[in-house]
Structure formats: C-alpha cells, structure tokens
C-alpha cells in the first residue's frame, strides 16, 4: 500500500496504478464523530486538486471532501453510501470514498507521508 495524506485530511492510495483510492483519515473521522451521510461524486466527473468532490455529514458537523489529486472519478463506494458508518469503523479500508484515474503523479508525490501527516494532524 502506497498511501499519502493531504492537508485537508484525505488519504490517497495508488497501490494498483490503475486508479487511486481516496478516503478521509482517521483524524478526520474522529473530529467529525458518527458519520450519518456521504455525498459522493458522479463517476466520470473530473476534478482538479483542491476541488470539493463530496460531502460527509456527521451528528456534529458537515465537511467537504476535497480532491487530493487531479483526476477523473472512475468508481464510488456504494457500500459507503448505503452504510456511512463505514467511514468511522474502517476509514482506511472499507470506508473509502471514491477511486480516481490520476492525471498528474507529481501531485501524489507532493502529498505527506504517514509520519509527516501524523505531525501535521497533532496541530490540526
């Protein structure tokens, strides 16, 4: 697993080189509390890094989900749409949000690795 993290608390895994998997971090789901709804992007939609690609709502707040890398959405997690609590119970696994065909791998390289994100999240 090759995972990097954004300053907006999304993670990106490009393990299969066909599409990058995107979700929210453990820190983000902790801050949100119990997730009750997710608004996922439409398959085929192209986003630029930093664009709002979805929304996650919890019992405490709603937060935008930002696109951590430029690309086209090729799949969304329908299981998450049906059971938003997956974002809490398994945010780095079954609680993934969408998959993206990456158009600029240099953006991925510029994201934080796990130790850098852990330091960043301590102060967030």
In the chain, what are the domain boundaries? 3-119
- Residue 25 confidence class, pLDDT cut points 50, 70, 90: very high
Q: What is the pLDDT of residue 103?
A: 86
Per-residue pLDDT of 3-23, as tens digits, reads: 999 999 999 999 766 789 999
Q: What is the DSSP string of 18-69?
A: S-EEEEE-HHHHHHH-SEEEEEPPPTT-EE-TT-EEEEEEESS-EEEEE-SS
Q: What is the pLDDT of residue 88?
A: 95
In the predicted model, what is the mean pLDDT of residues 106-113?
Answer: 94
CATH T-level topology, domain 3-119? OB fold (Dihydrolipoamide Acetyltransferase, E2P) (2.40.50)
In the predicted model, what is the mean pLDDT of residues 60-69?
Answer: 95
Q: What is the pLDDT of residue 1?
A: 56
């Amino acid at each position: 697993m090759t995972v990097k993290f954004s300053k907006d608390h999304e993670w990106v895994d490009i393990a299969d080189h066909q599409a990058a998997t995107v979700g929210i971090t453990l820190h983000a789901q902790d801050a949100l509390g119990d997730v009750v709804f997710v608004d996922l992007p439409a398959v085929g939609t192209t986003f630029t890094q930093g664009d709002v690609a979805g929304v996650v709502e919890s019992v405490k707040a709603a937060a935008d989900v930002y696109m951590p890398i430029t690309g086209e959405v090729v799949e969304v997690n329908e299981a998450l749409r049906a059971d938003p609590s997956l974002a809490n119970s398994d945010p780095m696994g079954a609680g993934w949000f969408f998959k993206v065909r990456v158009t600029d791998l240099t953006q991925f390289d510029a994201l934080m690795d796990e130790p850098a994100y852990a330091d960043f999240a301590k102060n967030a």
